[in-house]
Structure 1
Amino acid sequence: MTEPVELIQLLLDEMFSPMIADALRAEGHRVVALVERPEMRAMPDEEVFAWAAAQRCWLLTENVKDFQPIKLRALQANASLAGLLFTSSRTFPRSRQQVGPLVDALNAWLTKGPPEPPIIEDWLQPV
């Protein structure tokens, strides 16, 4: 694992537009969209989780069925953990024209501050 190079609060999984990261950075949050990093595109979920864990940041994803088992394996192995922030396309439909509700909810979540350990999983709620 590499040492954190920059302090990132939240990594957006590949299904999320970089427009969301841009809007959140404009609000002063340290957010990176996976698709903004060419070296991370098409990275397996296990590696995305390990990268987020190495950065000590949270990962926003809709991919509950894949990331929950990865988190459980990391817990069992006493490995570094990333916080998982889950959402769904039903709660926040993905659309380039309609990023406002998701950005608003993420801005509120980041402003409030992620849950403190031992909580390593949260569900994003609309504001």
Structure 2
Amino acid sequence: MSVRLLIDEMHSPRVAEVLRAERWDAFAVAADSSLRGRPDASLLEYATESGRVMVTENSGDFARLAALIVASGEDHCGIIITSRARYFRGSPAYPNNVIEALRRFLAAPPHEGTSWIWWLE
């Protein structure tokens, strides 16, 4: 299964840059002025329409939006949740730690299909 990522703007665009350089399909919201600042519902809709899995640390809003989508009988392409504590942007390990975790996920995706939520370890 080939996973295409849309990385939410709280994450550095460097995450997508590094993954793309390694031939993974990753796109950063922060790198596109037409996507920056969009409401979460609009980003999840964009991700779904473009066949991308949303990568975000905003678990509350995206879990709620995902539940609403599924309850309406629709699907989304999946959501990967990153932990603020584990992938703290002020840490010297960031963004390399989130890049490495996403590499592991992309190399062996634990999910197929649609409408799943995965907490990145």
Counterpart CA distance in 2 for 1:53 and 1:16 is 19
Matched, 1:76 2:71: yes
Which shows bigger deviation, 12-21 or 71-80? 71-80
Match of 2:118, SS? strand
Q: TM-score, normalised by structure 1?
A: 0.85
Matched, 1:122 2:114: no
Counterpart CA distance in 2 for 1:37 and 1:96 is 25
In structure 1, the residue matched to 2:101 is: 105
Aligned-pair identity (%)? 28
- Stretches of structure 1 that go unaligned for 5 or more consecutive residues are 1-6
- Stretches of structure 2 that go unaligned for 5 or more consecutive residues are none
Counterpart CA distance in 2 for 1:87 and 1:42 is 19
Matched, 1:44 2:39: yes
Q: TM-score, normalised by structure 2?
A: 0.89
CA distance 1:19–1:64, change in 2 (3 Å) = same
CA distance 1:53–1:119, change in 2 (3 Å) = closer
Match of 1:10, SS? strand
Counterpart CA distance in 2 for 1:32 and 1:18 is 8
Query: Which residue identity does 2:99 align to in structure 1?
Result: V
In structure 2, the residue matched to 1:4 is: none
Number of residue-to-residue matches in the alignment: 119
Query: Which residue identity does 1:105 align to in structure 2?
Result: A
Within a 5 Å distance, the mapping from 1:2-13 to structure 2 comes to 9-13=4-8
Runs of 4+ in 1 over 6 A off after TM superposition: none
Match of 1:39, SS? coil
In structure 1, the residue matched to 2:86 is: 91
Within a 5 Å distance, the mapping from 1:53-64 to structure 2 comes to 53-64=48-59
Asked if the contact 1:8–1:55 (Cα under 8 Å) also holds between the matched residues in 2, the reply is: no
